[in-house]
Structure formats: C-alpha cells, structure tokens
Structure 1
C-alpha cells in the first residue's frame, strides 16, 4: 500500500507518519488490510528526523499541478491531505489561502480522479465553517455559515470531497477537527494559536498573551486523539458513512478560564501568572464565531473519541518536555 501525506513536515503530518510506520497495515478500498510499502511525505520543506526506508520525502508547491501530478501518478492507494494555510494567515492573505486551501485541494481531487483507482482520501476540516447565531451545543445538522475566509475555504473543500465521493472518483472522509492543544513548537499564524500558547509557553518559563476573554468557550482535542481519529477515519468502511462524508469530531468544551485554572492547579501560581490578558479584536472576532461545543453524535456512533478533561491535555504536553 502506498500512502501520500501532504503537509508532512507540519506537526500533525509528522505525528501521523510516525504512527503509520508503527502500524501493521491499513485497509485498502476493498476493506482488506495491506502492509504499508511506501509513504510519500510531501511538503514545501523537507521532513527530517524519520529514517524509515519506506518514507520518501518530496518537496514542492502543492498548488503546482505539474509537480503534484508527478506524485499522484504513482498509483497512490490512500491520501491524508493535511497541507493548509492556517486561519489567521488565510484571513490576511486571501489569494494565498484560496490557492493552497481550495485550488490545490481541488487539483489533488482531480488528479486522484484521473488516476482512476478511487483512492481513500482523508482531509481535515474545521469548526470555522460555522458561524452566526448558534445553539449552545451545535448538532450535526447545523447549517454552515462561515465568518472568515478560512472557514469558507474549508467548507468548499467539504462540499468538493462529498461530491467527488458521490461520483465514485475518490473514497473521501472529511474530519472536522476541534482546535488541537497542546501543540509543541512555536506559535503560528492561526487565530487559535494562543490556545496552545497559554499552556505551552508558561510551562517553559515564557510569558504568554491571551487575546480573548477568559469566558471564551473552546472546542479542543489532544494531538494524540487527533492522530487516532485520522487513522480511524481512514479505516472506516464507506458503507458506515450513512450520514455523509463530513464528520464533526468529538472534543472537549472548556472556557479559557478553565484552561488557566487547570494550569494553575497543575503547575502552580508562578507558571499561571505568566499569562496576561491583552484583548485583540481581530482574533476575538474570528474565534468567537466558532462553536464552543458539539453533540458529535454521528462521530461517536462511528467510534471517534475525544478527551474527557482539560488536565489530560496539559499533562500530555508536560510528558513531552521530559
């Protein structure tokens, strides 16, 4: 089985590849388990630090159709499409967001269609597709109403994936991810970057800024559960997807204040006091348009799982520091 991972040098891409190389195999489009013979790790920068001989690192512009065609032509069995321009950057640079988040995704679907072997395709969507007047707990039937370019771009991808799957060109699954926390590394340009930052930086003795109100409600998922759910999404038989190809994943609904309280309880006052509140209207506008809680009934029925307590997310990150 040959697998393509886009965005391979990113946090989730690397984590996914590290998990895949430990797997005995994945199921193919016929439901038969196959050993993984090759993983093509695609990104604009090289994935480093993974020496498994099955991993082939390729670097290039995913929006370049000719370059992308040279990869898809290799009869890929499965695709994990994680490459994306993050929310804040997509809002600041409309053309770049459309080029990478929409145009490149459609090109990938088109090239998969041209190959003609109906590969499994797993993409990540976002709660940013929602907006407007929302119920306190969002049901799976909630109408999409994005309030940002990023949310609109993710909604377009969801619709494209569903239609390409309906027509039998790909066997797609779009996993609508909660905000992933706590991410290691450095802050990025996502509007949600502060969610990890207000935990990650203080635990390393660095001051952090929280740009939203402590009452802001967030929908979170740990990195570990995110990777588990990506693989589960791939492994689901298409016949199980009775309520559509786009799935709101389970998460943990917590306020920013609850996150800070948990940080204080776990790490103490000196650490928690490194977080200062500095409201940023642009970030607040984006983040407050996102739902803070979901029913995720469909996903739970399919076997997807989220974390049960904010302490688990914080303690999970602390383990990576040791």
Structure 2
C-alpha cells in the first residue's frame, strides 16, 4: 500500500495515520500532504513522509501521486463558515483541488482507491424527518454546493473507470480535541471541550436543535472501511452517508453536568448567531443508515459513550 492523505497534518489526518499504521502491515509509504508539516512526534516510521504542498496547483499534485500510489484519502478542505465567507477560496480548495487530484489519479493509475471526505452540508431545503442515501442533494451553503459538485465528479470518474472512488459524507464529528475552527459546527465540540478546560464557550443555536454526530474514532474506522469495501456493493452510486446518532446541545450539556457538576455550565454562554444557526439547521436531523450498516460501517451507541471516549482520550 502506498497512501496519500491530503489535509493529513490536521486532526482527522493524524488520527487516520495512526489507524492505518496500527491495522495495516502492508504499507510501504504514507505521504502526509498539507500546508504545514506533520508534527515530528508523529513521524514514527521511515514510511511516513511529510510534504508541504499546494493541491490547487497541478504541478504540485503531480509530485504527490504517482503510478505506485494505491490509496488517496482526500480530507483537505476549507470548512463550512470559512467557505461561506470566502467564496473564491472555497471554490479553489474544495472544488478545483479535488478535480486536480482526480485527474492526477486517472493519469497515474486507474486502480487507485480514492476516498473523498464529503459532508451532510450537501443537503438542505425542506428535508424529511429522516433521510437516506437516495435523498436528493439541495445544499444551502457554498461549502455544501462545493461538496455536492465534487460528489458528482467522484461518481462520474468512477463510472468511467478513471479511478476507483467513493465519497463519504461525514456526520458532525464530536468531540474534537484542540481549539475551535471556522466550521459552522465547531460549537458542537466546543460546548463540551472548553468547559472541561475551564474555558468560556458559546452555544449559538437553539438548545433543542437536532444534531447528527459521530465520535472521531468511529468516523476514522468508517473512512478506513470505505477504503477497503468492495465498490460493486454500492451498485453504481459511490456516495455513503456515514452512520451517526441524533443528539442536541441540550442533551450534550445535560451529559456534561451529570458526569461532572453544574459548575461547568457556567463556562457556556447562549448568544444566538443567525448565520451559524441557518447553516446547521439546514443539515439532516436523522438518517436511515440501514444500507450503510449492512455494508459493514459502524455507529456509536449513544452520546454518553462519545463523551466518555473523549474524556478518556484527554486524560
């Protein structure tokens, strides 16, 4: 296996790196591609190569994918609120770079398994209470539109036999460690993570707003599974709604207070942000994942298990 991970120096990329090294003994090389270097402490093997590159430039993309490449995990993106604020940058990174990567895979080796990290932001409008893999895309943001276009490209490149590609729509990942980012969903991790560090945070949406979430560990396992699945089982439609579970800010905050005590709630403010709420409320509230589960993808049991997993990880 010769692997490329774009956005590989970020949280998801580094967790994916750890999982791959732990579970696959046939890896010859892993190229971690990002705008910054991989944390030196994570370069635990001479098989790991940290590459600083701009994947919006064709010449640089050619240097990172070659005929020996077997797998590409495309995680790099300009996140939701940032893509909404800077349309040109979102189109450049989220759309142009994806097509450049697909074209390079087609040129180098049509057997490459290309796993594209998509988003539930491809949905919007008047959604039913529960969607499934057949629900039409109707994005309500520039980020969602860019992801939707890329999903169609991935599907067509696979249909044409240019690359063995799949798209995985990630639930909102919580609880992420580290610091807030520019994603509209950043608060979902923040309302737990920051109080546990005795730091202030804000919940910008209605406390009862349904959220479709998954733990980082489960998402990583599902991304890896997508790289190994027999794509014939997808019956020509190469997009997968990764399993998740429904929660709400209220349930999450109640879990925090029950597992610790109510003093932690004092770090949370509740100032509404209409822009954030509009984006997040356009996403699916619940998903029928019967097909995905039948294909071997997994889900978390409940939010309490997600909470416990995070607390254990930061001890």
TM-score bracket, normalised by the shorter chain, equals: over 0.9
1:254-293 equivalences under 5 Å are 254-293=247-286
Match of 1:124 among 117, 126, 134: 117
The structural deviation recorded for 1:272 is 2.4
Work out the CA distance in 2 between the residues paired with 1:129 and 1:301: 23
User: Unaligned stretches of 5+ in structure 1?
Assistant: 26-34
Cα offsets for 1:258-277 (capped at 9, x unmatched): 11111111121011232111
- Bigger shift: residues 64-73 or 234-243: 234-243
TM (normalized to structure 1)? Answer: 0.95
Task: State the secondary structure of the residue aligned to 1:53.
Answer: coil
Corresponding residue of 2:294? 301
Q: Deviations over 1:203-262 (max 9, x none)?
A: 111111000010111000000001100111111012222261101111010111111111
Q: TM-score, normalised by structure 2?
A: 0.97
Aligned to 2:50, what secondary structure does the other structure show? Answer: strand
Shift of 1:163: 0.3
- Do the aligned partners of 2:110 and 2:161 also contact (CA within 8 Å) in 1? no
Query: 1:43: which partner in 2?
Result: 34
Of residues 65, 76, 82, the one that matches 1:89 is: 82
Q: Tell me, yes or no, if structure 1 residue 104 matches structure 2 residue 97.
A: yes
How many equivalent pairs are there? Answer: 313
Q: Which moved more, 1:221-230 or 1:232-241?
A: 232-241
Q: Deviations over 1:8-47 (max 9, x none)?
A: 111100000011111234xxxxxxxxx1000011001001
What residue ranges of structure 2 are gaps of 5+ in the alignment?
Answer: none
Q: In the alignment, which residue of structure 1 is the partner of 2:219? A: 226
- Asked if 2 retains the 8 angstrom alpha-carbon contact of 1:201 and 1:208, the reply is yes
Deviations 1:34-67 (A, max 9, x none): x100001100100112221110110011111101
2:138 aligns with 145
Q: Structure 1 segments of 4 or more deviating over 4 A?
A: none
- 2:187 corresponds to 1:177: no
**Residue 158 of structure 1: aligned partner:** 151
Cα separation, 1, equivalents of 2:151 and 2:239: 6
